[in-house]
Structure 1
């Protein structure tokens, strides 16, 4: 039994990822501006020499929370820049970017079914958790 435990420990030690940082490079910060008004309004912006950038503006939200919007970007391994714009508020975090995959549009027949269901729901139709109609539309 002890031999099995010893072999398992040895195998996990050999299999662990080996991280080697040869010649780590210092990345200079080109810009770092921060403003905090103390009333929930703030702004910060920073940029590094390797292309990382972020700009965020925050203000008190309508329902007592915080609302923020801004943008950030960073270089990808292929040399292109990934650019993002976002809003974070009472509706959650919403980000937009050309690098975020988007779903394919619904086929025409599926879009028709969704529109039909919305029309039925607007007329008072209801369904149970199994999808069976429990209230007829009038």
Structure 2
């Protein structure tokens, strides 16, 4: 009887999740999903490493999905980063104290805008 008990415990230990490539195993604490089949949906996901995502969506008038949601993760200093967002016909609009405002344009985007303004001033059209 003791042998059977030890064999069962050994089987459970071997079947337990093992770290891969030195990375820790992350356990899923919550994974709730509801899809009504009509374009309306909700989901919530949470892992034991502090990552969490929640969103709800509805069909948009222009054929897109309108989504409101939030995602969270743990920063290196142990604080929680949180980003709330809306995505709809007006694009993706994140909000978080972590995001700089106004959002600075990358240098390549600034160069493209400058070039387009120069072309417009010269009367160049692209048709």
Which residues of structure 1 form unaligned runs of 5+?
Answer: 1-20, 105-127, 131-138
Number of residue pairs matched by the alignment: 88
Tell me the equivalent position of 1:24: 23
Structure 1 length-normalised TM: 0.58
Q: How does 1:95-134 map to 2 (within 5 A)?
A: 95-103=94-102, 129-130=120-121
By how many angstroms is 1:23 displaced? 2.9
Aligned Cα root-mean-square deviation (Å):
2.1
Tell me the equivalent position of 2:62: 63
Any idea what the Cα deviations from partners look like across 1:7-57, whole Å, max 9, x if unmatched?
xxxxxxxxxxxxxx7532101110000000000001100001111000010
Deviates more, 1:58-67 or 1:30-39: 58-67
**Bigger Rg over Cα:** 1
Structure 2 length-normalised TM: 0.63
Any idea what the Cα deviations from partners look like across 1:75-122, whole Å, max 9, x if unmatched?
111211110100000000000000001249xxxxxxxxxxxxxxxxxx
